[in-house]
């Protein structure tokens, strides 16, 4: 049976934009030793913007961008939306592409005019080739915390587009508050090592795991549970749902996908990360009252 103190705290939480799907979930929060955060859409706003666009020598910029945007127009990944917007801002229209395959965690495979085109991260299009592209420039983009998407045709890398996502304004404070409560924060991201490092530093995170494929997030969570005992997971995407279900406390961003919202135990209605430490404090206070 639910304690009156729990009931009051749950209803108080709802007033402050924290939805608990049952009193037991509020109780769990006070026991967390660590919290894992997804990057895109969770620690960041998930609305990246294009900052740079490079093509290989002798290639036509407009044609390359138009092809890239036409392929990305078929995807609803946040990076894809940003690239399509960028192309539209440059007055380009997209054309229909017939053969498209979404490869979660990597990018998109398309067939255009009987030519295979790959759009995605270095692991997908070929890491060595991306390193050789415009020597040094790509490296600098990563150091700035940018994500780089490549397009590759039968002749090799055709173009690269850099995108910058912004940290949520309260992310640094939220992580600091958790640290004061003795809770470690860890970022899990599908992005590459250098970009992950830059964003983790900006957010003040203790640890991060880069190159984390969608199915790897739940494995990482199992490892963290063994290491820390009770671990929370904060996420927004379909990719995060298995890890949200595995964590001691699954926490979803209010603007997350339906699957994330359904799977989570707790929902941050206003996407405000500082509400996590607030809820942890309420939970700890309640534990003292009950004992
Ligand atoms: P995260 O939310 O941590 O960025 P995702 O699993 O959504 O993780 O994506 C991992 C990586 O896969 C992205 O950083 C990007 O490099 C690549 N990727 C996935 N989908 C696309 C796409 N539609 N266009 C370009 N790159 C993509
Ligand atoms: Mg996400």
Sheet holding 249-253, edge to edge: 18-20, 266-268, 249-253, 231-235, 34-38, 184-188, 207-209
- Residue 291 pLDDT exceeds 60: no
Which ligand places an atom closest to the C-alpha of 208? 1
Bridge-based pairing state of the strands 147-153 and 156-164: antiparallel
Q: How confident is the model at residue 6 (pLDDT cuts 50, 70, 90)?
A: confident
Q: Which ipTM value was assigned to this complex?
A: 0.95
CA distance 241 to 90: 36
Within 10 Å of residue 229's Cβ, how many Cβ atoms? Answer: 12
Q: Which atom of ligand 1 is nearest to the CA of 239?
A: 6
CB within 6 Å of ligand 1 — which residues?
39-40, 72, 75, 77, 79-80, 105-108, 119-121, 147, 149, 189-191, 214, 239
Q: 149: CA distance to ligand 1 center in Å?
A: 9
**pTM, whole model, 2 decimals?**
0.88
At the fourth CATH level, the homologous superfamily of domain 4-45+167-290 is: HAD superfamily/HAD-like (3.40.50.1000)
CA distance 250 to 247: 6
CA distance 145 to 162: 10
Within 10 Å of residue 268's Cβ, how many Cβ atoms? Answer: 24
Q: How confident is the model at residue 35 (pLDDT cuts 50, 70, 90)?
A: very high
Pocket test for ligand 1, best of 76, 103, 105 (most atoms within 8 A of CB): 105
Q: 100: CA distance to ligand 1 center in Å?
A: 16
Q: Mean pLDDT, to the nearest integer, of 284-290?
A: 79
Q: 119: CA distance to ligand 2 center in Å?
A: 19
- Residue 1 pLDDT exceeds 70: no
Share of the chain above pLDDT 90, in %: 79
The domains of the chain are located at 4-45+167-290, 49-164
Which residue, by CA, sits nearest to atom 2 of ligand 1? 40
pLDDT of residue 208: 98
Is 38 annotated as catalytic? Answer: yes
Q: Which atom of ligand 1 is nearest to the CA of 188?
A: 3
The encoded tokens of residue 209 equal: 């795991």
Which ligand places an atom closest to the C-alpha of 257? 2
Share of the chain above pLDDT 70, in %: 98
Q: Mean pLDDT, to the nearest integer, of 97-122?
A: 93
Q: How confident is the model at residue 3 (pLDDT cuts 50, 70, 90)?
A: confident
CA distance 198 to 139: 12
- Residue 136 pLDDT exceeds 80: no
CA distance 218 to 144: 28
Q: How confident is the model at residue 290 (pLDDT cuts 50, 70, 90)?
A: low
Query: Of the residues 38, 236, 265, 272, which is catalytic?
Result: 38
Q: 39: CA distance to ligand 2 center in Å?
A: 6
Please, how many CA atoms are within 13 Å of residue 245, restricted to the half-sphere of its CB?
A: 13
pLDDT of residue 5: 82
Q: Which range, of 29-33, 36-40, 113-117, 133-137, averages the lowest pLDDT?
A: 133-137
Mean of per-residue pLDDT scores for the chain = 93
Q: Is 40 in a helix, a strand, or coil?
A: helix
pLDDT of residue 45: 94
The full DSSP string for 90-130 is TT------SEEEEETTTEEEEEETTEEEEEE-HHHH-HHHH
Q: What is the CATH number of domain 49-164?
A: 3.40.1110.10
Q: Same CATH topology for 4-45+167-290 and 49-164? A: no
pLDDT digits (tens, 9 = 90+) for 251-262: 999 999 999 999
CA distance 191 to 44: 13
What are residue 225's DSSP bridge partners?
none
Terminal CA-CA length for the chain:
16
Q: Mean pLDDT, to the nearest integer, of 186-208?
A: 94
- Residue 21 pLDDT exceeds 90: yes
Decide: 168 and 273 in contact? Cβ < 8 Å: yes
The encoded tokens of residue 174 equal: 């939220």
pLDDT of residue 105: 87
Which ligand places an atom closest to the C-alpha of 189? 1
pLDDT of residue 116: 96
pLDDT of residue 2: 66
């Amino acid at each position: 049976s639910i304690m009156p103190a729990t009931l009051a705290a749950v209803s108080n939480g709802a007033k402050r934009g924290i939805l608990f799907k049952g009193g037991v979930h509020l109780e769990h929060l006070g026991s967390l030793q660590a919290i894992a955060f997804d990057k895109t859409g969770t620690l960041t706003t998930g609305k990246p913007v294009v900052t740079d666009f490079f093509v290989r020598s002798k290639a036509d910029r407009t044609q390359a961008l138009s092809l890239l945007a036409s392929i990305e127009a078929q995807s609803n990944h946040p990076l894809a939306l940003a690239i399509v917007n960028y192309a539209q801002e440059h007055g380009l229209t997209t054309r229909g592409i017939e053969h498209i395959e979404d490869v979660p965690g990597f990018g998109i495979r398309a067939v255009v005019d009987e030519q295979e085109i790959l759009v995605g991260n270095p692991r997908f299009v070929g890491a060595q080739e991306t390193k050789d592209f415009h020597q040094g420039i790509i490296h600098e983009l990563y150091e700035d915390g940018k994500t780089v998407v490549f397009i590759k045709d039968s002749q090799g890398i055709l173009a690269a587009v850099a995108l910058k996502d912004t940290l949520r304004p309260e992310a640094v404070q939220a992580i600091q508050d958790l640290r004061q409560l003795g809770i470690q924060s860890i970022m899990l991201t599908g992005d590459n090592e250098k970009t992950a490092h830059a964003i983790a530093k900006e957010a003040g995170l203790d640890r991060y795991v880069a190159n984390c494929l969608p199915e790897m997030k739940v494995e990482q969570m199992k490892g963290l549970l063994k290491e820390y005992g009770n671990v929370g997971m904060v996420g927004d995407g379909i990719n995060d749902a298995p890890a949200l279900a595995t964590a001691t406390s699954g926490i979803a961003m209010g603007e997350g996908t339906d699957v994330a919202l359904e799977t989570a135990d707790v929902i941050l209605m206003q996407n405000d990360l500082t509400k996590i430490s607030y809820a942890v404090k309420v939970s700890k206070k309640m534990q003292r009252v009950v004992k």
